[in-house]
Every structure is written in C-alpha cells, then in structure tokens.
C-alpha cells in the first residue's frame, strides 16, 4: 500500500491485478456494456494512480474507495438513463439437479437481469453493491458518498420496481 502511494509501479500493477475483476464486474453490471465497462476500468485505475496520495487507509478500506470511484465513473457515463441489457452469461447460476430446474433458474435469472437493466444507473448501482458485492448499507453510503437513508430508499425503490416488473412479466401483481 505504501509503495503504491509513493509511486511504485510494481505495487500499482499488483493492486491492479488484485482489483481489476471487481471493478470490471461492477462497471459491467451498472452500465450493462462490456465496452463501457472496459473503458471504465481504465478510467478508474488512471484515477487511482493520479489520486493515490489522497487515499487514507484510516478512513476506510481500499475496496470501498475503489467502489466509489467505479460508481462515479459509471454514473458519469450513464447520465442518459437508458435501459441496459445484461446478458445471462454474466451471472453465475447455481447448478440445478436437473435440466428442467436449470432452465427455470436461467429463465428466472433472465427476467431479473432484464428488470435490473431497466433501472436507472443510480438504482442499479446500489443493487449491484448490495446484492452482487454484498456490501452493507453503510459501505454503500461511503462508496457513493450519499446519506444512509438515500441508500435505503434507493434499494427499496429498486426492489419495488423489480417486483412489479417481474410480477407483471409473470402475469402477477408482485413476487
């Protein structure tokens, strides 16, 4: 950590290798675009290099800082609130006991990912951090630099929207 902050390129490369997949996954799920996500990964790590002296480990974890930078870059890119398409291949489904169960899991996952893709980037970002990265509400608030109440309300609104969309798709009022 100290070597990276003093400008050691080898330490920075190690940091990049350690966190590249995390940043890529977050960017991909928030933007819905592999191309955008790849560009965001580059932008994030350029920012990490340029602002390495501003990171203070006493104020929080490096992963939280990276989440914040990643989300900010994604939100900058996704201001137009267009729906995104997140392919099912991006999600690791648990292995089912049979072909029918696996097909049902895949179909359900496709509906969920389509609904997640229809959310605006701010709501999609909190869902990704909460349910894909398993961050606490407090960690999300720090990562996004927003109040805890805003995190909770965005997650509640996003979940409500997902329930409505998935329920409507199934022909039901809600899940």
CATH number of 2-170: 1.10.10.10
Please say whether the beta carbons of 71 and 30 come within 8 A: yes
Asked whether the whole model's pTM tops 0.95, one would answer no
| Contact assessment for residue 80 and residue 36, using Cβ atoms and an 8 Å cutoff | no
pLDDT of residue 9: 93
Q: DSSP characters for 115-172? A: HHHHS-HHHHHHHIIIIIS---HHHHHHHHT--HHHHHHHHHHHHHHHHHHHHHHHTS
Give the pLDDT of residue 42.
96
Q: What is the pLDDT along the chain (175 residues), one digit of tens a residue?
A: 888 888 889 999 999 999 999 999 889 888 888 899 999 999 999 999 999 999 988 888 898 899 889 988 988 886 544 545 555 455 444 444 444 454 456 677 777 778 888 888 889 889 888 988 888 999 899 888 899 999 999 999 999 988 888 875 555 444 4
Q: For residue 41, how many other CB atoms are within 10 A of its CB? A: 23
């Amino acid at each position: 950590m100290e070597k990276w902050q003093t400008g050691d390129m080898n330490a920075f490369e190690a940091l990049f290798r350690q966190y590249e997949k995390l940043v890529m996954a977050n960017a991909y799920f928030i933007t819905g675009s592999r191309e955008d996500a790849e560009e965001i990964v580059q932008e994030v790590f350029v920012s990490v290099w340029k602002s390495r002296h501003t990171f203070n480990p006493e104020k929080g974890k490096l992963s939280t800082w990276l989440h914040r930078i990643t989300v900010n870059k994604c939100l900058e890119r996704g201001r137009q609130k267009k729906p995104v398409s997140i392919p099912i291949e991006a999600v690791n489904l648990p292995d089912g006991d049979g072909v029918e169960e696996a097909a049902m899991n895949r179909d359900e996952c496709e509906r969920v990912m389509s609904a997640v893709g229809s959310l605006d980037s701010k709501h999609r970002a909190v869902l990704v951090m909460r349910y894909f990265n398993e961050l606490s509400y407090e960690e999300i608030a720090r990562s996004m630099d927003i109040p805890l109440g805003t995190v909770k309300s965005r997650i509640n609104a996003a979940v409500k929207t997902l329930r409505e969309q998935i329920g409507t798709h199934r022909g039901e009022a809600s899940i």
